[in-house]
Amino acid sequence: MENQEVMRMEEAKKISEELNEKYEIDRVAGLIKDNKIAFTHKEDEYRVRLLTQKDKDDLDMLRRKKFGQLLQDKDILLEKDLIKIYKERGIDISEIDDKINKINTEMHSKQLKLGESLSKDSDKSILNTYKNEIKDLINQKGALYLQKSGLLEFSLEKQLEYFTIKIISYLSLQIKKDEIFIRAFDDIDKFLNADDELIEKTVSYSLTINYQI
Amino acid sequence: MNIDNRIKQIAKSQEHQSLFSISKELSNIKLFYNDTDLSRLQMIYISYLFYYHNIYMDIDMKKVSKRVLDNEIFEDAYSIWKKEGKEDNTSKPKKDISLVFSRSKKRK
């Protein structure tokens, strides 16, 4: 009897997981159709949508302004200057790039071999050997990319990219007032001073819909 | 699972592949509410629709077995191999054979 109950619970859990999966797929399929993500935050209704042409003009203006500010800040280095300093301290970014290129070449060659093996319907063990080798190369490449982006995180270019993501988020966020959606914040500074949870949600949803520029 | 992988999963589904095929045939069947200014999501979705459409076509034509759909590494490898024209190279006649063919044609 107890066994039956355990099996019933396991079955219920499985059905619930399948329903969640179906819900998620339907949700994303809906997003693809209309490019809007609605959410509630502290009882207010928000949505993030695709940027309009007017928003893109505002984005361009705000980004240029930020670029000018960053350029005047002597503490923020351009990527090429940062790379030069790293090299003087014994960290060669071009070596990381070389390693990435080498991995890409090796991966490409293995992918071609695997592709050919698949077309010939080769033995499962051959396919899995290639698969595991490629998987390993993907992981190695990922680690190198992570290392490189970590080193260049404070470059002017990266700072501008991070700020651009915030501008896109600010421009795409709307709040429902009197049954219509309007821009949630009057200016970018007010958006940046909003609470962290709202900013985090907006950035994540906004990047889902809009291109990362 | 992140959203890009979810889109890949959707584009791979039979339901969306059928919708894609129908939308190519019938102009009144649309994939999105908007016709222009596609979002990042929509671009990813379209590219995966094409990507899986090509793989399914090859499975139907028995160029590759269903095993190719077992995992992303198989799918990518097969698509790259095909894109590089390796498939065509194996079926194309060799250069000297085509020369013999053109010479014999001349004689005719």
User: DSSP string of chain A?
Assistant: -HHHHHHHHHHHHHHHHHHHHHHHHHHHHHHHHH-EEEEEETTEEEEEE---HHHHHHHHHHHHHHHHHHHH-TTSPPHHHHHHHHHHTT--HHHHHHHHHHHHHHHHHHHHHHHHHHHTT--HHHHHHHHHHHHHHHHHHHHHHHHHHHHTTTSHHHHHHHHHHHHHHHHHEEEEETTEEEES-SSHHHHHTS-HHHHHHHHHHHHHHS---
Whether A213 shows a pLDDT value over 60: the answer reads no
Confidence band of B1 (pLDDT split at 50, 70, 90): low
Is A27 among the domain residues? Answer: yes
Does the CB of A22 have a partner CB in chain B at under 8 Å?
Answer: no
The residue among B13, B37, B41 with the most chain A CBs within 10 A of its CB, best to mutate, is B41
A40 and A63, same domain (yes or no): yes
The pLDDT value recorded for residue B99 is 42
Whether A106 shows a pLDDT value over 80: the answer reads yes
Q: Give the distance from residue A116's alpha carbon to the nearest chain B alpha carbon, in angstroms.
A: 7
**A113-150 per-position pLDDT tens digit:** 999 999 999 999 999 999 999 999 999 999 999 999 99
A83 and A145, same domain (yes or no): yes
Sequence letter at residue A179: E
Flag if B86 and A112 touch (Cβ within 8 Å): yes
Q: Select from A154, A177, A195 the last residue of a domain.
A: A154
Is A101 among the domain residues? Answer: yes
Which residues on A lie below 8 Å from B68 (Cβ)?
118
A147 and A92, same domain (yes or no): yes
Chain A from 122 to 151: CB within 8 A of any B CB: 127, 130-131, 134-135
User: Closest partner residue to A131 among B16, B73, B80, by Cβ?
Assistant: B73
Domain-by-domain residue ranges, chain B?
3-107
ipTM: 0.78
Q: Give the distance from residue B54's alpha carbon to the nearest chain A alpha carbon, in angstroms.
A: 14
A12 and A57, same domain (yes or no): yes
Domain that holds residue A149: 78-154
Find the radius of gyration of the CA atoms of chain A.
24
Q: Cα–Cα distance between A173 and A205 in angstroms, integer?
A: 9
Q: Cα–Cα distance between A131 and A124 in angstroms, integer?
A: 10
Flag if A112 and B6 touch (Cβ within 8 Å): no
User: Closest partner residue to A115 among B32, B39, B78, by Cβ?
Assistant: B78
User: Closest partner residue to A29 among B10, B39, B81, by Cβ?
Assistant: B10
Is A97 among the domain residues? Answer: yes
**B50-60 per-position pLDDT tens digit:** 999 999 999 99
Domain count, chain A: 2
Strands A180-183 and A44-49: unpaired
Percent of chain A having pLDDT more than 90?
76
A66 and A82, same domain (yes or no): no
Is A118 among the domain residues? Answer: yes
Flag if A35 and B7 touch (Cβ within 8 Å): no
**B3-57 per-position pLDDT tens digit:** 888 899 999 999 999 999 898 888 778 888 888 888 888 999 999 999 999 999 9
Which residues on A lie below 8 Å from B9 (Cβ)?
25
Whether B91 shows a pLDDT value over 50: the answer reads no
A128 and A175, same domain (yes or no): no
The residue among A24, A27, A28, A56 with the most chain B CBs within 10 A of its CB, best to mutate, is A28
Flag if A35 and B42 touch (Cβ within 8 Å): yes
**pTM recorded for the entire structure:** 0.78
Q: Cα–Cα distance between A209 and A207 in angstroms, integer?
A: 5
Is A149 among the domain residues? Answer: yes
Is A204 among the domain residues? Answer: yes
